[in-house]
Chain A
């Protein structure tokens, strides 16, 4: 549901009408919709075009659940949890009317192994048996760990038990691609749709237009509501400008929402004006904002703990735009995800405990360090805030702001040439696995992976493995909670905020729902209140 500030918008969230044209303003400059390359959430742009084996059921204020989509169940595991079997529903079709078969799903997955089609979410690539040596279907090779005994059935053989497989099966890679139809390049411009909308046009830098897919059958789909007749993605929209034009509400602004979160300035502006405030929808606590400490550089635990105490999380919150930007965090697993337990190993006032920090530095036997902090240029204010709070404990911070992609490279490459990095993590699916493993598993250091603290603790690796392989989700939850605390004891990161995302939508937009996870609106349910 909506956070405290978003409640005003609720009366607009009455069930809307079917029909009309919805506009989505996005800062993206192009939409490459090739499912093999997509890292997108199943509930955003992709969700309206593609169906997968499973889908996410988002309810207002409720927990996000994995539900069957093309398949009849969320997956039948074998006893050892290494084999998962799915059966397809009857009457599911591509946009051209041909029925979707298990072979199409297999082909779609196989495509994601081609060297030219990398870049998507690749959880399945590490899990499927024999995937390391597989180079895609274009030379006639098949991946034997995916079996399709008949057109309705698909069986996956994993190299280890994996309890979260139903979530993995909801990701873009599991989108059916008509066999032999998705070429090695260029498919992303106009892929074949299996969802309620098909692509009418897709012009880089300008717009992508979705219209109804007449071959989508509402009866087979339990999550998508397919309200508008037409959905237009307007590209390269500056997020401030987009928020501004939605507030003004003239022209398309009334029937639009912005895919970006509302920038701090517009947030302040909208909060100050009741009629604008109605248009805001704030998520509950979502992604974790944290300060990663490079444990390979800052080896001394006492120093890391000093940093935990020294940070003024309150100031950080203010610099992020105030309470609407998120709640102050102390754990790794965020609220809304199974396994979250509230605790604080470094109990202190939100503004930090400078004396404790100073004392820890003294105990460490080292001088207060000088540290290099990297951040994106958008995070300059946040970086300055951290610089200021650490200064209080005598720790000097040098800031390097980088362009977002240079930043993501610098913060995830093999070199690890930084001491501190401001980062945030939104799991790809709502499981503690997706929350903890990418950030703290020692296999996730470098190579573009997100263990930015470069944290390497065999004990934690073992705990992660154990939790992952536990198919019973309640059991698993306990192990994850233990893992959380174990990691925090080593202080590789400072949890800063459970950040909240605030989105803005036009006054004629309804069913603008943000579930407990993820902190993004569910595009597949958005409707217009009236047809124009």
Chain B
């Protein structure tokens, strides 16, 4: 029950945050020196045509009216135009893309599996790689192994992921042709193809992101291994492996989880670059397209969706955190 109340509170504050983000987006895009309707006007375009399209898309309204219509659409749905030629976007309407002739919710539903496949696979991989190497380095502290891993991790942290991604595409897809150079196939259509297309982005993202986790895990493990409770466990005759992997690791994972939550959120922002590098059509590509095409409704809708994901990811991490760490009463801000 307390968890429910807590989630309720978090959701309430998240709604506020999301409204603020919406406001910010509208403010920014109202400042754009462009009328999105112009791109849908056709060639050649007459002023009458332009005003007809603007009226249809609602871009002739002041920004607050547009924003209100947008927000209202989320709850009540909305209709563009009237009569037989009207386009209906039923609730929850996150907007409608006239460029893609698709409701934003549908676009997100189409694109999200791509982004999620990249993100989840890469995240799982890098968590495993990062934590494993971090623990290893901590156990081999100040040895050659430790120094090598640390050195590699600095390299990993320093390498811009998009550059490495591009190099990987050039090396493994274009020159060596081991992997496809990009694209995505549905898991349901072709599981092997799905895996085959995802391996390269996963590896690139995982290896680079793991570097940060190696460092944090190592520091945390060293810290935890010097804690008093480790000595207590030793005094009981608990085997060293249990001490490392059960006692110390469990505690060391706590800050790692916090970092993981933040990074999961960041993944979506980073998806813009990843998906460009690996020619995948996920949410990031959708966002990038929507900005370059001034598809305001898609931009707002997809951003809101991304923001919700970030918030949900953090909420999950917080809940997991309080499950893992009994000292943290749920809802205590860290």
Which residues of chain A are within 8 angstroms of B173 by Cβ–Cβ distance?
Answer: 241
Interface readout for A12-39 with B: 1 if CB under 8 Å, 0 if not? 0000000000000000011010100101
Task: Give Cα A489–Cα B289 distance, bound, in whole angstroms.
Answer: 40
One of B41, B84, B169, B174 near A184 (C-beta < 8 A): B84
B39 touches A448 (CB 8 A): yes
Decide if B41 touches A448 in the complex (CB within 8 Å). Answer: yes
Please state if A126 and B44 are interface contacts (CB–CB under 8 Å).
yes
Instruction: Check: A81 CB closer than 8 A to any chain B CB.
Output: no
Q: How long is the Cα–Cα vector from A295 to B291 in the complex, in angstroms?
A: 30
Q: Which of B48-56, B139-147, B234-242, B313-321 contacts A (4 or more CB under 8 A)?
A: B48-56
| Closest chain A CB from B299 CB (angstroms) | 12
**Which A residues lie within 8 Å of B169 (CB)?**
241
B43, A122: Cβ atoms under 8 Å?
yes
Q: Does B332 contact A (CB under 8 A)?
A: no
- Of A110-118, A142-150, A344-352, the segment with at least 4 beta carbons within 8 Å of chain B is A110-118
Which residues in chain B, 142-194, are within 8 Å of chain A measured between CB atoms? 169, 173-174, 177, 181-185
Contacts of B42 in A (CB 8 A): 39, 118-122, 125
Report if A114-B85 is in contact (Cβ < 8 Å); known contacts: A188-B101, A205-B281, A405-B39. yes
Q: Check A122/B39 contact, CB under 8 A, given A184-B86, A405-B294, A409-B294.
A: no
**Which residue of chain A is the closest to B88 with respect to CB atoms?**
A185
Question: CB within 8 Å of B: which of A86-121?
Answer: 114-121
Interface residues of B in 194-239 (CB under 8 A from A): none
Q: Which residue of A lies closest to B295 (CB)?
A: A405
B182 pairs with A119, CB closer than 8 A: no
CB pair B185–A206 under 8 Å, yes or no, is yes
**Is B98 positioned at the interface, with any CB of A under 8 Å from its CB?**
yes
Q: How far is the CA of A191 from the CA of B119 in the complex (A)?
A: 35
Task: Collect the chain B residues with CB atoms within 8 Å of residue A404's CB.
Answer: 292
Q: Does B326 contact A (CB under 8 A)?
A: no
Q: Check A241 against B292 for contact (C-beta < 8 Å).
A: no
Question: Would you call A406 and B281 a contact (CB within 8 A)?
Answer: no
Which stretch (B5-13, B30-38, B59-67, B252-260) binds chain A?
B30-38
Chain A residue numbers with a CB within 8 Å of B34 are 406, 409-410, 413
Say yes or no: is A234 at the interface (Cβ < 8 Å to chain B): yes
A205 in complex: contacting residue of B85, B111, B177, B292, CB < 8 Å? B111
Tell me whether A236 and B292 are in contact in the complex, defined as CB-CB below 8 angstroms, given that A116-B80, A415-B33, A448-B38 are known contacts.
no
Q: In this assembly, does B40 line the interface, its C-beta being within 8 Å of a C-beta of chain A?
A: yes
Residues of B near A206 (CB, < 8 A) are 183-185, 281
Would A139 and B84 count as touching, CB distance under 8 A? yes
Alpha-carbon distance A444/B46, docked complex (angstroms)? 8
Given contacts A206-B185, A244-B174, contact A116 B43 (CB under 8 A): no
Asked whether, in the complex, the Cβ of B38 is within 8 Å of the Cβ of A138, the reply is no
| Interface contact A449-B45, CB-CB below 8 Å | yes
Known: A115-B53, A406-B34. A234 touches B289 (CB 8 A): no
**Chain B, Cβ-Cβ closest to A234:** B183
In angstroms, Cα B55 to Cα A115, docked, is: 9
Contact in complex: B100, A30 (CB < 8 Å): yes
Cβ-defined partner of B85 (8 Å) among A37, A115, A236:
A115
In the complex, A457 has a CB within 8 A of chain B: no
Judge whether A448 and B294 touch: CB under 8 Å.
no
The answer to whether residues A184 and B285 also contact, given A205-B110, A406-B294, A448-B41 and a CB cut-off of 8 A, is no
Min CB distance, A243 to chain B, in Å? 10
- Chain B residues in 8 Å Cβ range of A443: 46
Interfacial residues of chain A within 431-480, with CB under 8 A of chain B in the complex: 438, 443-444, 447-450
Q: Are B83 and A138 in contact (CB under 8 A)?
A: yes
Contact between B49 and A204, CB atoms less than 8 A apart: no
Contacts of B114 in A (CB 8 A): 205
Residue interface bits B267-282, CB-to-A below 8 A is 1, else 0: 0000000000001110
Rounded to whole Å, the gap between the CB of B116 and the closest CB of chain A is 14
Q: How large is the interface on A (under 10, 10 to 19, 20 to 34, 35 or more residues)?
A: 35 or more
Contacts of B85 in A (CB 8 A): 114-117, 135-136, 138-139, 184
Q: Which of B56, B87, B173, B291 has the most C-beta atoms of chain A within 10 angstroms of its own C-beta?
A: B87
Residues of A within 8 A of B73 (CB): none
Asked if B81 lies at the interface with its beta carbon under 8 angstroms from chain A, I say yes
Contact A403 B48, CB 8 Å, known A116-B87, A206-B183, A206-B281: no
A140 within 8 A of B: yes
Complex CA distance for A135 and B292, rounded to whole angstroms:
29
Partner among B41, B55, B174 whose Cβ is within 8 Å of the Cβ of A241: B174
Contact B174–A248 (Cβ < 8 Å): yes
Minimum CB–CB distance from A102 to chain B (whole Å) comes to: 22
Q: Is the CB of A29 within 8 A of B44?
A: no
Residue of A nearest to B174 (CB): A244
Given contacts A29-B289, A126-B44, A116 and B35 within 8 Å (CB-CB): no
Contacting pair A241 B80 (CB below 8 A): no
**B52 contacts A115, CB within 8 Å?**
yes
Q: A241-B169, A409-B294, A417-B33 are in contact. Are A235 and B44 (CB under 8 A)?
A: no
**Are the C-beta atoms of B81 and A204 separated by less than 8 Å?**
no
Minimal beta-carbon separation of A123 from chain B (angstroms): 7
B residues 75-100 touching A (CB-CB < 8 Å): 80-81, 83-87, 98, 100
Quote the shortest CB–CB distance from A311 to chain B (angstroms).
28
**CB of A238 within 8 A of chain B?**
yes
- Tell whether, in the assembled complex, residue B87 and residue A236 are in contact, meaning their CB atoms are under 8 Å apart: no
Tell me the complex Cα distance, A236–B185, Å: 13
Contacts of A117 in B (CB 8 A): 85
A273 at the interface (CB under 8 A from B): no
Q: Does A186 contact B (CB under 8 A)?
A: yes
Contact call B84/A138, Cβ cutoff below 8 A: yes
What chain B residues lie within 8 Å of A123 (beta carbons)?
44
B59 to chain A, nearest CB (A): 12
* Pairwise interchain contact A122-B44, C-beta atoms closer than 8 A: yes
Identify which of A236, A408, A444, A450 contacts B279 (C-beta below 8 A): A236
Q: How far is the CB of B44 from chain A (nearest CB, A)?
A: 5
Chain A residue contacts of B56, Cβ below 8 A: 115-116, 118
Measured in the bound complex, the distance between the Cα atoms of B74 and A115 in whole Å is 23
Residues in B whose Cβ lies below 8 Å from that of A208: none
A410 touching B33 in the complex, CB below 8 Å, given contacts A126-B46, A206-B184, A447-B47:
yes
Name A447's contact: one of B41, B81, B285 (CB within 8 Å).
B41
Tell me the bound Cα distance from A185 to B44 in angstroms: 22
Interface residues of A in 295-331 (CB under 8 A from B): none
Instruction: From A118, A444, A450, give the contact of B53 (CB < 8 A).
Output: A118
Mark contacts of A170-194 with chain B using CB atoms, 8 A cut-off: 1 yes-contact digit, 0 otherwise.
Answer: 0000000000000011101100000
CB <8 Å contact, A449 and B80: no
Question: How far, in whole Å, are A251 and B111 apart by their CA atoms in the complex?
Answer: 27
How distant is the Cα of A368 from the Cα of B244 in the complex, in angstroms? 74
Using Cβ atoms and an 8 Å threshold, which residues of chain B touch A116? 56, 80-81, 85-87, 98
**Chain B residues near A125 (CB-CB < 8 A):** 42, 46, 49
* Contact A405 B83, beta carbon cutoff 8 Å: no
Q: Indicate whether A428 reaches chain B with its CB closer than 8 angstroms.
A: yes
User: Given the known A-B contacts A204-B281, A244-B174, A413-B38, are A448 and B86 also in contact in the complex, defined by CB atoms under 8 Å?
Assistant: no
A245 interface residue per 8 A CB criterion = yes
A147 vs B49: C-alpha distance when bound (angstroms): 23
- B35 contact set on A, CB distance < 8 A: 409, 413
Is B50's CB under 8 angstroms from A34's CB?
Answer: no
The answer to whether A389 has its CB under 8 Å from any CB of chain B is no
* Residues of B contacting A235 in the complex (Cβ-Cβ under 8 angstroms): 281
A265 vs chain B, min Cβ distance (A): 12
Indicate if the CB atoms of B86 and A205 lie closer than 8 Å.
no
10 A-B residue contacts at CB 8 Å? A119-B98, A125-B46, A235-B281, A237-B182, A237-B183, A238-B181, A245-B181, A250-B177, A449-B43, A450-B43
